[in-house]
Structure 1
């Protein structure tokens, strides 16, 4: 594991991508927080401008209250909850200052680069048959993939912490302390949860790269996994409303707390201030690392040309893919029409069956899209 030659080899293979990830973290987080600080100052300057004061005096009916102005400048959350249920009472009426750095293009590129880092670590090596050279080296397979994991996770962790520290330091130095009223529990939950979300995206790319032999299919599947909360969360809301239509706001709050556990791949999307989802993210990360070590050790290089790297992957993949698409179709059916619970279930089951049959057909007829054109 700590052989200098092994570390040097993996560093040479991944160094440019690691550097690119670090740069994007700086651009997406540090510069994003700098931009948020400038935006906060611009908002404050606007409230103090003569034009705004004149507008306030000319139109008293739509006058912005002092409380609203103060609240809009108050920094209470790194990621403002979407539902007022999870906000303090003082922010129920007026929303506090919102950070926009996580909506910036560079922040999106960070997520893409972290995923690509995992792709290059495993999928690209399999596609170029570089794994044939790797397994011939005098190192244990678990040590090889362990170094890949450590390099990736260390780069993500250090880049995230340093970028966030620099950005927040700049922000806090440029915003007067009387406006800084962070909910510290939610603040640290967002900080730690954001880090684990990046790590999980990286681990998902590696894990899927070990299960799927085709880079095209692996890219599609990995994207689907990271977007899974966008399918499951609406499903839970629909089912909950069907089964407990009179549960009220308290019941919906409990559901949203549960959804936080599904949002571990979605950056800065936790609603509640509970550390349960963060602990779950850590446990899930450890579990995925263990699975990756086992799969990398068990993989067979002679299956590099197959769509599925392990024979047993095919049917679970087809079933899970069909379920996800079926649920997504059922969710779409409820957007424009009011369906009964039975109709919703029928939509889902029917879509699952149709997708399952379609995928079987595509796997047989469109082999040319997959590496090596071999099927299990």
Structure 2
């Protein structure tokens, strides 16, 4: 059944608000890198060419069913221009990865707490993007080059994708990504090693740093997505809670995270939160989050999740992409039926994979096609 963009948008809106749409929306988690390889293009070449990525995505949307998608590639040109240490293109194919970095030393916490934005500009950025702060005119020219590279690459990609989405009547449901305050401190300021030490040795200043980060993330959300609404939503991946003790999560992570989510939802935003790994310890906390959150789970059983929070939060995820790589087509379809039967009743559910599909080694195209078409046909509410 061919659906219009308006039909798809209304289905997704109903699901987000924990209502029952006409059918289960199918959300694509295939990244641009997967589309490039699926279309038969060379990854290293295409990541420098927004038009080629758009053509690849056009082919992917032609062949593989979905109701919605939306991803921004990480263009290696941008990160090479600013000599990024936070996001680094790998040599073999220029696919951008995020290594562990530390932009802030432990004895610089007080400086960050006093004025986080100034500390980021004066201390963190020079360490993570050294080309932007070279002496004299060179640093200024590198800033200009980075801005031009970003504007050119992203504007070409977005204008091309708007045409592809219109052609296929597919909804782009994502606009911008932010982090929970604790995760921002962990990812770009202290690194996994540093933050793990701080949790044990310096909770007072760590807590103060997350509180100082909260308004930055709130402002960033407003900049990235200035027009609040159900669609498009803001994406937020959560990294650290699965590695934390529950008592540390409750004290250090939860207060600023909850406030950020509640404030943004109260302002009219929808937030898609990626709950990485196993969140079963935290279901009681999640019950405090407002409707308007899309709870995207990686490892959790969606049947249990549905019972615990499905009355309040839209749920999605959990389909293992490992099956798309290793199992037969019928086994993949059977797994999709199992998850839909658990998570779909009553609405408030979006079908998607447990994580992003990065390349052809993650998912056989024939399996992904079969599962996507099956859910579209099977997931009809009666």
Given the two structures, how large is their TM-score scaled by the length of structure 1? Answer: 0.22
User: Which protein has the bigger strand share?
Assistant: 2
Point out the structure with max Rg over C-alpha: 1
Given the two structures, how large is their TM-score scaled by the length of structure 2? Answer: 0.22
Q: Larger relative contact order (C-alpha < 8 A, sep ≥ 6)?
A: 2
User: Which protein has the bigger helix share?
Assistant: 1
